Amino acid sequence: MTKKYDLLIQNILCVDENGSELTDIAVHQGLIQERRLGITTPAEQVIDGTGLTLMPGIIDSQVHFREPGLTHKEDLFSGSLSAASGGVTTFLEMPNTKPSTTTIEALNEKIEIARKNSHVDFGFFIGATIDNLEELKKAHGLPGCCGIKIFLGSSTGSLLLDDETALLKIFQETTLPISIHSEDENIMQERIGIRDVATTAHAHPDWRNVDSALTATKKIVRIARSANRKIHILHLSTGEEALWLQDHRDICTLEVTPQHLTLFAPDCYDRLGTLAQMNPPIREERHKKTLWEVLQKRGIDIVASDHAPHTMAEKELGYPKSPSGMPGVQTLLPVMLSHVADKKLSLQDFVRLTSSEPARLFKLKGKGQIKVGYDADMIILDFNQPSVVVSSEMKSKVGWTPFEGLRSPATLKGTYLRGQLVPASPGLGRPITS
């Protein structure tokens, strides 16, 4: 009997971190079986890819989907729906929920919710606290656990951790990847009066200033180096950090968000007010310029959304009562493609920053590449059909985006998870493995 594939995509331009080629892609039982022109084996579904572009599915390595405890803003169903609608086939979710994800029990609860409700594949960080070292150790090798998250500045519940002794012990005695939110709590507390008397979000980057970010980053790198332990610095916001960290790339990997590469103060606060409020803050244009210069020299490893939704009613409370964070998992793709159109980066670099490098850094098995034997996680784009970001198309519960009206050079025609078009039905997603 002639073998039959589940899916065959023919004559499509496939772009990966190494370049591009016209090819066919054959998929069976969720895996890529062949990648070459001229595949003649029949398939249950055949897609004519002529004029279209195929790339690996996006791995968004920093999202906040709010479940449990804050599900009026987002949950794993709506967040993963938004992810799939933006070309994201795997997300890694943060622990600052209510209660915080700081135990194996809490981690397993989120994994089970995601098994039932997620449209795409998923991983969860376990949060570090002053006294949960044993829980962090037990998380090693647990399917669905992607790493440890450390907040050096204030966050939910007990997740603030800036004690050097505790940090050093975590670095010495755990094995999971470690991601760092790097803002100095002492400096922010010393400057909190700036926030308390402020009436607009323009004060946000003044309160959480450059020195707060740079001081925390220097501190955590020093501790990591003393333990000979690699760390991942999240959402770089300052040019000073980006430049200083280039001398520490042996111990650090680095991430930046689309918003820090696109928005800048004071313009974003003039236009968007508290919708542009996030931690660490959007800063002056010189920081954006330096982040781009470093990224273009391959001095930054990952672009991730830091999707952190809040309702419009919460944002309309006004600064400083308004919470920090903005949605972004669905707009990572169009925002970064707009920069491709502006020739700030190539499609190959986009793939490296959002697919292949996140998969390598977080050791995600079978992810991040269009390669025989890998999961058939793919997105199909039409660069002959530009698109515009509009809030009414956002699948997040909060229903707004700071990138309203942004023009992208392509339209997303399909997101495929292991060869299946998503979003399809909840429960298709699986926990990541390493």
Provide the annotated active-site residues.
Answer: 306
CA distance 234 to 255: 5
The three-point CA angle 191-184-105 to 5° equals 125
CA distance 228 to 226: 6
Question: Tokens 């490296």 sit at which residue?
Answer: 352
Phi and psi angles of residue 334, each rounded to the nearest 5 degrees, phi first: -65, -35
The three-point CA angle 290-346-230 to 5° equals 55
- Work out whether strand 43-48 and strand 302-303 pair parallel, antiparallel, or are unpaired: unpaired
Among residues 307, 303, 305, the alpha carbon closest in space to that of 75 is found at: 307
Which tokens go with 150?
A: 């450390």
Q: List helix spans (H) across 139-284.
A: 164-173, 185-190, 192-197, 204-207, 210-226, 239-244, 258-262, 267-272
Helix/strand number for the chain, H first, E second: 16, 18
